[in-house]
């Protein structure tokens, strides 16, 4: 049977995804929630005097830290929409950092970008061969790739970088920058508006100012990949066929879809995107390769993807949240995290009221008690220990996943073994 040529050809009842566990949030409601969160953050800023939580520099740093997390999450989304769990994102990012830095040092930064993507894609190809062709457990394969990538780069780094000025067994020499840009006029205007400290207006100015100040060209590419991924996967026949492989590969095969081909393509693209996230770390965030610089961002990217319910828009919000909490380590961390304790207490109070309205009394009481403890922590201290600041991104990751777990629905055949012709 020939492959279908339009999206509607495979839009049969057997390929329809199962209904999500919860109602989908519409764009107006989502924008209202974001506006409410900004207003609440502004109130906290005015009460605590922690202007750093929404200034332009903080938001610019948050964007830079969110990009590799978002790219790793996009990689996970491509693979898992085709039915392949990709725990190996961390290892593919590691390959991207090393190959990007090595090629960037040898032939220039844009060559480094291309080679870093190829390095991550090689990791994706290996994961595809092991999981799709040989049906090895996806988690086992992903963990093995993480270990293999770490060992391979530790072996290759001394061979490539030792003996060069600034190079060592754990670090590459400095690499030429890809370049940054700031939108003239707009950036200065938003910064001035942010410095005035007005309610909400200055906070929005800080958020927008971070998007147009000291931005890397690679950041623009990464941001553009979010809507591009949505359009390809949800508005093209190619994307529908790929997603059908993650929902019901047997039904997809019966309609002429080459399931192996689409799974392979998805996982290779997944590795390439994760590799691009690694390139960002070694060419933009730091202009050199450094052993350990991925530092769990592949796993946080996977968490951002899950938080976003396997959708690009939600993934972007999750990556932004994790990037923001990560940025607290770099700019006024102790003061800002202490102020965010008050924000957390207020959010928990609102959550408790919402649960009471829905007549979930036990959950409401537990939420209220936790909120009271957080407020007591805020009121009884002037700052938080540095260890708490360092752990904040990982704590936020766990809390967000725990709170969003009830509304999630992964692709129906995600992680399930598949053999060609098994439906016959």
Provide the residue ranges of all domains of the chain, joining segments of one domain with +: 47-331, 332-405
What global pTM score does this model have?
A: 0.90
- DSSP 8-state code for residue 215: E
Architecture (CATH level 2) of domain 47-331:
Orthogonal Bundle (1.10)
Distances (CA, A) of 188 to 55, 182, 201, 293: 13, 9, 15, 32
Comparing CA positions, the residue from 274, 275, 252 lying closest to residue 262 is 252
What is the model's pLDDT at position 396?
A: 79
Query: Which pLDDT score is estimated for 24?
Result: 60
Helix H or strand E segment including 181 = strand 180-181
Round the average pLDDT of the chain to a whole number and report it.
89
- Supply the pLDDT for residue 9: 41
Residues in the chain with pLDDT < 70? 1-26, 331-333, 403-406, 423-424
Predicted local confidence at residue 23, as pLDDT: 52
The pLDDT of residue 111: 97
User: If you write DSSP's letter for every residue of 112-179 in order, what string do you get?
Assistant: HHHHHHHHHHHHHHHHHIIIIIS---HHHHHHHHHHHHHHHHHHHHHHHHTTSTT--SSBPPP-----
Q: CA of 141: how far to CAs of 7, 91, 276, in Å?
A: 32, 11, 21
Specify whether the CB–CB gap between 22 and 406 falls below 8 A.
Answer: yes
pLDDT digits (tens, 9 = 90+) for 257-277: 999 999 999 999 999 999 999
Contacts of 56 (CB under 8 A, 6+ apart): 187, 190, 191, 194, 205, 206, 209, 210, 213
> Residue 81's closest CA among 206, 246, 323, 277?
246
Locate 245 and state its tokens: 């492989």
Number of Cβ atoms within 10 Å of the Cβ of 32:
12
Pull the structure tokens for residue 260: 């192996």
Cβ 287 vs Cβ 177: under 8 Å: yes
d(C-alpha 71, C-alpha 117), whole Å: 11
DSSP letter assigned to residue 330? T
Query: For residues 281 and 289, what is the distance between their CA atoms, to the nearest angstrom?
Result: 8
DSSP type of residue 21: S
Tokens of 350: 């609102």
Q: Let me know how long the chain is.
A: 424
Compute the CA torsion angle 218, 219, 222, 228 (nearest 10 deg). Answer: -100
3-state SS, residue 392 = helix
């Amino acid at each position: 049977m020939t492959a279908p040529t339009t999206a509607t050809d495979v839009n049969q009842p057997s390929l329809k995804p199962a209904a999500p566990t919860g109602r989908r949030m519409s764009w107006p409601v989502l924008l209202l929630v974001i506006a409410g969160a900004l207003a609440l953050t502004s109130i906290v800023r005015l009460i605590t005097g922690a202007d750093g939580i929404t200034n332009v520099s903080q938001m610019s740093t948050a964007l830079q830290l969110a990009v590799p997390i978002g790219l790793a999450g996009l990689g996970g989304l491509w693979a898992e929409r085709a039915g392949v769990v990709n725990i190996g994102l961390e290892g593919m990012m590691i390959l991207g950092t090393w190959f990007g830095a090595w090629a960037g040092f040898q032939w220039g930064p844009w060559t480094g970008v291309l080679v870093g993507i190829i390095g991550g894609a090689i990791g994706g190809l290996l994961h595809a061969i092991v999981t799709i062709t040989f049906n090895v457990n996806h988690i086992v394969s992903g963990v093995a790739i993480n270990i293999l990538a770490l060992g391979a780069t530790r072996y290759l780094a001394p061979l490539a970088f030792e003996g060069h000025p600034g190079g060592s067994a754990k670090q590459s020499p400095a690499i030429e920058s890809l370049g940054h840009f700031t939108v003239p006029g707009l950036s200065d205007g938003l910064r001035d508006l942010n410095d005035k400290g007005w309610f909400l207006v200055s906070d929005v100015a800080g958020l927008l100012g971070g998007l147009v100040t000291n931005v890397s060209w690679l950041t623009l590419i990464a941001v553009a990949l979010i809507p591009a991924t949505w359009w390809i996967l949800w508005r093209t026949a190619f994307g529908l066929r790929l997603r059908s492989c993650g929902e019901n590969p047997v039904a997809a095969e019966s309609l002429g879809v080459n399931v192996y081909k689409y799974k392979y393509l998805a996982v290779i693209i997944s590795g390439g995107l994760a590799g691009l996230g690694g390139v960002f770390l070694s060419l933009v965030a730091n202009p050199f390769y450094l052993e350990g610089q991925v530092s769990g961002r592949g796993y946080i990217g996977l968490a951002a993807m899950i938080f976003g319910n396997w959708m690009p828009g939600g993934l972007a919000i999750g990556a932004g949240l994790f990037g923001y909490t990560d940025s607290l380590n770099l700019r006024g961390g102790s003061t800002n995290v202490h102020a965010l304790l008050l924000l957390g207490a207020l959010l928990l109070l609102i959550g408790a009221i919402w649960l009471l309205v829905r007549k979930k009394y036990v959950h409401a009481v537990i939420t209220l008690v936790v909120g009271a403890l957080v407020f007591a922590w805020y009121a009884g201290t002037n700052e938080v220990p540095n260890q708490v600041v360092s752990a904040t991104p990982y704590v936020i990751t766990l809390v967000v996943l725990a709170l969003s777990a009830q509304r999630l629905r992964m692709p129906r055949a995600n992680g399930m073994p598949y053999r060609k012709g098994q439906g016959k």
